[in-house]
């Protein structure tokens, strides 16, 4: 008969609970694996991977066969890889004092969960262009120590604390403009999705973010993406989880919320500034997204 002390039983229960939590968590955090440099079978996962290169330099292969590209990364580099992007990441063999992964870290998170979240929280729409770029692979250049510390801090957190820190990190990366795309256009269009339209949707999302306060039409933005209206509408919804109209209105309402909370501008002035053409239309969309009127939203933050 197995003799289990109360302390050992409690420890086992805590470990089991943590395993259940990790299995259900939106954001998974782990030390990066270190496959052999000779590995020749690229992985093609259905999650995003955010890699922090630790003390050992790394080599990333993207693609397969004749289309494979190789990139080398110095310690401290941060790389975001999108779902369904074939890749393999290998680290140099270099002995470290404590062994193990020498500080490598990878966050894995679901693309689908974030897309669903954008429909409920328009602010998450700011991450849309970043997720589109991730389909090609993104290397962030010159990230500050605070951002790297936030990334490492996520590993130590659990539950809502981990998720809120992750969202803050995602916001910083979405706003970071010094980056390098790792896959060329051919690879991106061949491997992004079944229609091969990643780069076009990414271009459209960036255009919408820069011009959402203007009068935008599906046909106009579709033309900028080089796609016919119906095809663009379907591809846009598949990429963002939202219709074109809902995505634009979500950005407008999110901007209105920031103005209502931080300024004394009249509601009518904010309405036109963020891109709505009349007050009733503004109020209707604001109530649908926020569950209250603009006036009620401001009143709760006074």
41-82 pLDDT, tens digit per residue, is 445 455 888 999 988 888 888 765 555 778 899 999 999 988
So what's the pLDDT on residue 127?
Answer: 82
Instruction: Pick 286 or 65 by higher pLDDT.
Output: 286
The whole-angstrom separation of Cα 196 and Cα 191 is 7
Pairing of strands 78-81, 69-73: unpaired
Residue 294's pLDDT is what? 94
Confidence of residue 221 (pLDDT cuts 50, 70, 90): very high
- Beta bridge partner(s), residue 59: 72, 90
Spatial separation of the C-alpha atoms in residues 45 and 53, rounded to whole Å: 19
Query: For residues 225 and 185, is the Cβ–Cβ distance under 8 A?
Result: no
pLDDT in tens, 75-114: 999 999 887 777 677 766 554 444 445 688 999 887 777 7
pTM of the model: 0.54
For 236-269, letters b (16+ CB in 10 Å) and e give beebbbbebebbbbbbbbbbbbebbeeeeeebee
Does residue 295 register a pLDDT over 50?
A: yes
Of 32-36, 122-126, 213-217, give the lowest mean pLDDT range. Answer: 32-36
Kindly tell me if the per-residue pLDDT of 213 is higher than 90.
yes
Average pLDDT over residues 180-199: 56
Q: Is the model's pLDDT at 254 over the cut of 60?
A: yes
Q: Maximum CA pair distance of the chain?
A: 76
């Amino acid at each position: 008969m197995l003799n289990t002390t109360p302390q050992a039983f409690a420890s086992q229960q805590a470990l089991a609970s943590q395993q259940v939590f990790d299995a259900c968590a939106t954001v998974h955090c782990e030390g990066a694996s270190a496959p052999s440099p000779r590995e020749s079978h690229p992985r093609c996962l259905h999650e995003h991977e955010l890699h922090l290169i630790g003390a050992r330099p790394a080599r990333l292969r993207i693609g397969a066969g004749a289309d494979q590209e190789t990139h080398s990364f110095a310690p401290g580099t941060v790389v975001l890889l999108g779902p369904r992007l074939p890749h393999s990441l290998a680290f140099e063999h270099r002995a470290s004092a404590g062994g193990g992964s020498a500080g490598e870290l990878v966050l894995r998170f679901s693309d689908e969960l974030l897309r669903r979240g954008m429909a409920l929280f328009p602010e998450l729409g700011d991450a849309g262009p970043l997720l589109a770029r991730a389909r090609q692979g993104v290397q962030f250049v010159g990230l500050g120590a605070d951002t790297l510390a936030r990334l490492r801090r996520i590993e130590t957190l659990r539950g809502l604390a981990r998720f809120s820190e992750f969202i803050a990190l995602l916001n910083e990366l979405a706003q970071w403009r010094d980056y390098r795309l790792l896959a060329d256009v051919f690879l991106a269009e061949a491997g992004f999705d079944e229609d091969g339209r990643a780069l076009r949707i990414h271009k459209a999302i960036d255009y919408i973010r820069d011009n959402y306060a203007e009068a935008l039409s599906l046909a106009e933005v579709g033309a900028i993406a080089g796609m016919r209206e119906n095809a663009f509408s379907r591809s846009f919804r598949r990429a963002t989880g939202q219709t074109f109209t809902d995505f634009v209105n979500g950005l407008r309402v999110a901007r209105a919320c920031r103005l209502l909370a931080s300024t004394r501008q009249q509601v009518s002035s904010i309405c036109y500034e963020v891109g709505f053409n009349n007050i009733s239309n503004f109020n209707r969309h604001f109530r649908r997204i926020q569950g209250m009127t603009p006036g009620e939203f401001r009143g709760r933050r006074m």
